[in-house]
Amino acid sequence: MAANAQSVLVVEDEASIASFVALYLKNAGYDVATVANGSEALLSVERQQPSLIVLDLMLPDIDGIEICRRVRQKSDVPILMLTARDEDVDKIIGLEVGADDYMTKPFNPRELVARVKSILRRTTPDRKERESEVIQHGDLVVDAGRREVKVGDREIQLAPKEFDLLWELLDHRGLVLTRDQLLERVWGYTFAGDTRTVDVHVRQLRRKLEDASPIVTVWGVG
C-alpha cells in the first residue's frame, strides 16, 4: 500500500466492473479493496475504515440501500452509489439514506475517478483555513474543524455532503444560490442539468434541522 494514500472500498458483485473500477482508482493513487457482497462490505467498513465507498445498488445478499443505511448508523464515510437502473426512485432513496453521490451504469471510469476525487477533496478535513471556523445561526451551531452540527445542546448527525451543503448555504447567508451553483460548489461538477441531488439533500437538511433550518427556497431562482 502507498504511504498516506486514501483508501477506497469497492462493493460490486460483477467481477469485470469491480476490476476495472479498482484499476482506474489504483492508477489515480488510491489504495483499493474490493468485495462482492453486502456482508463482506459491512465487515470491511468496520475493520478497514475506508476513506470512501463505491457501492453497487444491486448485490446478491444485502442491497446497497440497506448497506448505506447501516453504514450511516455508525459512520459518515462518503458513499458513491452505482446503479444499473436509471430510475429516479432508486437515486432519490439512495441519497435519502445517506449516499453522497450516484452514477448510472454504464459509466465512464474517468468520471468516476473525478467524482471520487471531488468527494474526498470536500470531506477530508485538511482545509487549514476552516479548522477553527464556527458559524452560528440562531440555535444552530456548525463547527467546521470538528465537522459537528448542534441545535442547542442536541447534536445533529449529517452525512458528509449534507454538512458541506449546509456550510455553503450558511457561508453565503443573505445570497440566493441556484441549484447549479450549489452543484458546482459542493459537488465540484454538474449533473448535466440534473439538480434533484440538491433537492434531496436540502429536504434532508430541513427534516433533520427542523425549526433551526436556515434554508429558504426562492421559487424560480434557487
Q: Examine residue 222 and state whether it is found in any structural domain, yes or no.
A: no
- Residue 198: give its domain's CATH number: 1.10.10.10
Last residue of a domain, one of 92, 123, 154: 123
Q: Is residue 221 part of a domain?
A: no
- Its pTM stands at 0.68
| pLDDT number for residue 52 | 97
Q: Does a structural domain hold residue 1?
A: no
Given a cut of 60, whether residue 12 has pLDDT beyond it is yes
Cα dihedral sign for 41, 45, 50, 54? positive
Per-residue cell: 73: 448508523
pLDDT digits (tens, 9 = 90+) for 68-83: 999 998 888 999 999 8
Among the candidates 73, 107, 123, a domain finishes at: 123
Same domain, 87 and 177: no
Asked if 58 and 139 sit in the same domain, the reply is no
Quote the CA–CA distance of 105 and 37 in Å, as a whole number. Answer: 18
Q: What's the grid cell of residue 54?
A: 463505491
Based on the domain organization, do 115 and 197 belong to the same domain?
no
Asked if residue 91 and residue 76 are part of one domain, the reply reads yes
Q: Tell me the CB-side half-sphere exposure of residue 131, using CA atoms within 13 A.
A: 6
Flag the least confident range among 10-14, 27-31, 121-125. 121-125
pLDDT tens profile 164-201: 889 988 888 878 888 888 887 787 765 544 667 888 88
Range of the domain at 183: 128-212
Number of alpha helices (DSSP H) and beta strands (DSSP E) in the chain: 8, 9
Number of domains composing the chain: 2
Cβ neighbour number for residue 177 with a 10 Å cutoff: 18
pLDDT of residue 131: 54
Residue ending a domain, choose from 93, 123, 153:
123
Kindly report which listed range (14-23, 112-121, 187-196, 206-215) carries the lowest average pLDDT score. Answer: 187-196
Measured on CA atoms in the order 169, 171, 176, 178, is the torsion positive or negative? negative
Averaged pLDDT of the chain: 84
Per residue in 96-143, pLDDT (tens digit) is: 888 888 888 888 888 899 889 888 877 665 544 455 688 888 889 999
